[in-house]
Amino acid sequence: MLITISQLIIGSVDLIAAFLLMFGLWRMASPVTAPSGILVAGVGMVAAVLASFLYVFTVDAAARPHLPLNIGLAAAALIIGAGVAWWSGRKVAITAMPQAVALFNGMGGGAAGAIAAVELFGGETHGAPALTVTLLGALIGSISLSGSIIAWAKLDALLKKPLQVPGLQLFNGGVLFACLLVGGYIVFSAVGGGTPLVAMPHLIEIFFGIALVYGILMTLPIGGADMPVVISVYNAFTGLAVGLEGFVLQNPALMIAGMLVGAAGLLLTLLMAKAMNRSVAKILFARFGPGKKRKQGAIKGSLKPVQASDAGIFMRYAKSVIIVPGYGLAVSQGQGKLYDFVKLLQAAGVSVKFAIHPVAGRMPGQMDVLLAEAGVPYDLIVQLADVNEEFKDADVALVIGANDVVNPEARTDKTSPIYGMPILNADQAKKCYVVKRGDGKGYAGIVNPLFYADDTFMVYGDAAAVCVSMTEAVRGLGAPAAAA
């Protein structure tokens, strides 16, 4: 009776939780409703976690003597895990968000892998389909765990250079194949040969070992600017692993939540890859190699340096300015100083917008969050598709710390590696200021003809320092602007 009631309650609560999680994501469609969306999802999650303790009434005879200890362990793990993560999630810098998301994502993958490990080592999975799904979830979850940790280390600049060894991709393929082979052998001997799973713990250990190693090897060669795709892929992986383990545990809430995230991760991955003009396979399994050197046509014009103060004053008397911020701005932590400058311009009657390229930053949409943190209202932040037509009517395009995403070669030069990539049409503005540290090339390693165009002027220096100089120059003009 108690079992039946517990199952009824757990089933109902999980059903509601699954709905709330979906509904929470549904409310993410606008910055206005999104904050309540995450709260709705949070309520669903808390309810599901609390209800899951009713499983104590349904445990089988073998586990019953261990129940008091198990309950204690579960409570302790919940409190420690949630406490530490909550504390670090509260205090992590917004600029470090990609690392944090990578790490929390890896945890989810690890949890899915660990559930699979218990099922496998305990020999609780029976039949070829269930066993295959468990192993597949274990594989994907393990890759997501170790891969996310490497991604975290890269984003946190603990690992500086992408690892590039000739033939590494081939070797990685071999490692993945070996893992699938071991998994296949486990299924074959358990289902076909009748060997119980508990009799082959070493095979299972090897399986997990190879899967974890593969996650590391797969992530090591991937470079910094490709990180948005990597994070999306591992997000999708963890979702998929959770969904698969949900099937193994016969828990539809896990299946639905996991698959929902799997689809979300896949969609974001494809969006990112499209914005970078590269296929997902190429990002994961190849890089902008030094091998494909190409003679870039001679570029007309010259680089024309100007002082930050002159640029600032010119914009003060412009009608409309569109700002193109890139990762360089985030690196110099100049978002707040840039917005100070923008407020001065707005006070002087200049119309200002921020144009964001989808891959600005180290994870999808990171630049938007950084600007929001600096206090920029979201209605000033416009996305590529909505703003591109407006450049030709703008007096000034101010490019700060961005390069490849404003390279007009993507539109014109068929031989360019970035040909076809959607770019922001900063070159169509009447005048273009480019704030840059030096004459370095962008991630794609190509010269940007925009910098040499007649109407483009270079402001050299650290983005934050340049913003301060521009602000001071405009303040120096006196009353109307300083009224801000």
Partner 1 sequence: MGFQISVGGFIAVYIFMVTAFAGWVIIGRVPAILHTPLMSGSNFVHGIVVVGGIFTLLNASTTLEQAIGFVAVLLGAGNVAGGFAVTQRMLAMFKASGHPAHGAKHATRAKRAAPAAVKSIAPKKV
Written as six digits, the tokens of 443 are 């991630």
CB atoms within 10 A of CB 299: 15
Asked if 253 interacts with partner 1 (CB under 8 A), we say yes
Asked if 322 interacts with partner 1 (CB under 8 A), we say no
Closest distance to partner 1 from the beta carbon of 190 (Å): 17
Residues in the chain: 484
- Residue span 62-101 as binding mask against partner 1, x where in contact by CB under 8 A, dash where not: xx--xx-xxx-xx-xxxxxxxxxxx-xxx-x-x--x--xx
335: amino acid identity, one letter: Q
CB 215 within 8 A of CB 139: no
Q: Across the strands, what pairs with 459?
A: 435
Closest distance to partner 1 from the beta carbon of 375 (Å): 7
Q: Which of residues 147-186 bind partner 1 (CB under 8 A)?
A: none
Asked if 224 interacts with partner 1 (CB under 8 A), we say no
Q: Which of residues 112-151 bind partner 1 (CB under 8 A)?
A: 112, 114-115, 117-119, 121-122, 129
Residue burial 381-418, b: 16+ Cβ < 10 Å; e: rest? bbebeebbebbeebbbbbbbbbbbbbbbbbeebeebbb
* Size of residue set near partner 1 by CB under 8 A: 128
Known catalytic residue at 404: yes
Asked if 427 interacts with partner 1 (CB under 8 A), we say no
Residue tagged active-site, from 404, 427, 455, 462: 404
Query: Helix crossing, 252-276 with 227-248: angle to 10°?
Result: 160
The residue from 218, 220, 344, 356 that contacts partner 1 (CB under 8 A) is 356
Asked if 368 interacts with partner 1 (CB under 8 A), we say yes
Asked if 262 interacts with partner 1 (CB under 8 A), we say yes
CB atoms within 10 A of CB 349: 12
Non-local CB neighbours of 431 within 8 Å, separated by 6+ positions: 314, 318, 395, 396, 397, 455, 456, 457
User: Which candidate, 341, 361, 353, 407, places its Cα nearest to that of 377?
Assistant: 353
Q: Across the strands, what pairs with 396?
A: 321, 431
The residue from 134, 146, 219, 238 that contacts partner 1 (CB under 8 A) is 238
CB closer to partner 1, 172 vs 335: 335
Written as six digits, the tokens of 401 are 């710390």
Query: Three-state SS for 266?
Result: helix
Asked if 235 interacts with partner 1 (CB under 8 A), we say yes
The residue from 203, 259, 299, 331 that contacts partner 1 (CB under 8 A) is 259
Non-local CB neighbours of 402 within 8 Å, separated by 6+ positions: 324, 325, 326, 327, 328, 329, 357, 360, 424
Closest distance to partner 1 from the beta carbon of 411 (Å): 21
CB closer to partner 1, 59 vs 158: 59
CB closer to partner 1, 225 vs 261: 261
Asked if 342 interacts with partner 1 (CB under 8 A), we say no
Written as six digits, the tokens of 374 are 């600096």
Residue 178 DSSP class: H
The residue from 19, 95, 107, 460 that contacts partner 1 (CB under 8 A) is 107
The residue from 32, 170, 281, 483 that contacts partner 1 (CB under 8 A) is 32
The residue from 232, 320, 407, 471 that contacts partner 1 (CB under 8 A) is 232
Q: Specify the stretch interacting with partner 1 by CB under 8 A; choose among 18-26, 186-194, 392-400, 449-457.
A: 18-26
In Å, how far from its chain's centre is CA 168?
24
Enzyme catalytic residues:
404
